[in-house]
Each structure stands twice: as structure tokens, then as C-alpha cells.
Structure 1
Amino acid sequence: MPAAAHDLRTPLTVVLGQAELLERRLARDPSAPVDPAGTSASRARRDGCETS
């Protein structure tokens, strides 16, 4: 089971990192559209998809 957890955690870490980068870039852009449900990164954190 630990191998399966690692195989899933690694790609999720990459996706979460990219989502957080996009979230930071959008926060600096005043003309960026606002997503009322939150960004993918914040939804992932809220839903417990942390990979650490």
C-alpha cells in the first residue's frame, strides 16, 4: 500500500503546486476573473488533498 500511496501522491503534488502557482499569478492580476467557488489549489486544501 505505501507504494500505491507514493504513486498517487507524487502527481498530486505536481498538480497542487501548479494550481498554487496559478493562484498566486491570478491574485496579482486585477483584471483576472474571480471564481466564487475558489481556485483549484484552495479547493484541494479545503477538501483535504494535501500531499504531505
Structure 2
Amino acid sequence: LATLVMSAQLPDSIFRPLGIGLLGLLSLVVAALAVRTLIAVWRRDICKLD
């Protein structure tokens, strides 16, 4: 997010594509973790009661 803010201050800088790329990568990681968590819950691998 800081790189996106910096891109607003500096014209024609590398910060805008870098910020968008980093934000996209972070979003992809969060989405992958959410999907894997939902799959584990559906398979009952989480919260097993023995």
C-alpha cells in the first residue's frame, strides 16, 4: 500500500506497477490460504474431536 501512495506523489515512477503487483500477490496468497482452510474444514481435518 505504501508503494501505491508513493506512486501518487512521484510522476512516472516504478512504484505504481510495483505496488499493484505486490497487492495482487498478497491477495493471491490470502485467497489460496482461505481456499485451503475451507477445504480442510470440509474434509474435517480441522477441529477433530477424538
TM-score, structure 1 length as denominator? 0.50
2:28 aligned with 1:14: yes
Q: Which runs of 4+ in 1 moved over 4 A?
A: none
Tell me which residue corresponds to 1:37.
none
Aligned pairs, how many?
A: 33
Whole-angstrom CA distance in 2 between matches of 1:20 and 1:33:
13
Secondary structure of the residue aligned to 2:43 is coil
Which protein is richer in helix relative to its size? 2
What is the root-mean-square deviation in Å for CA atoms of aligned residues?
Answer: 1.6
Answer 1 or 2: higher relative contact order, Cα 8 Å, separation at least 6: 1
Overall identity of the aligned pairs, in %:
9
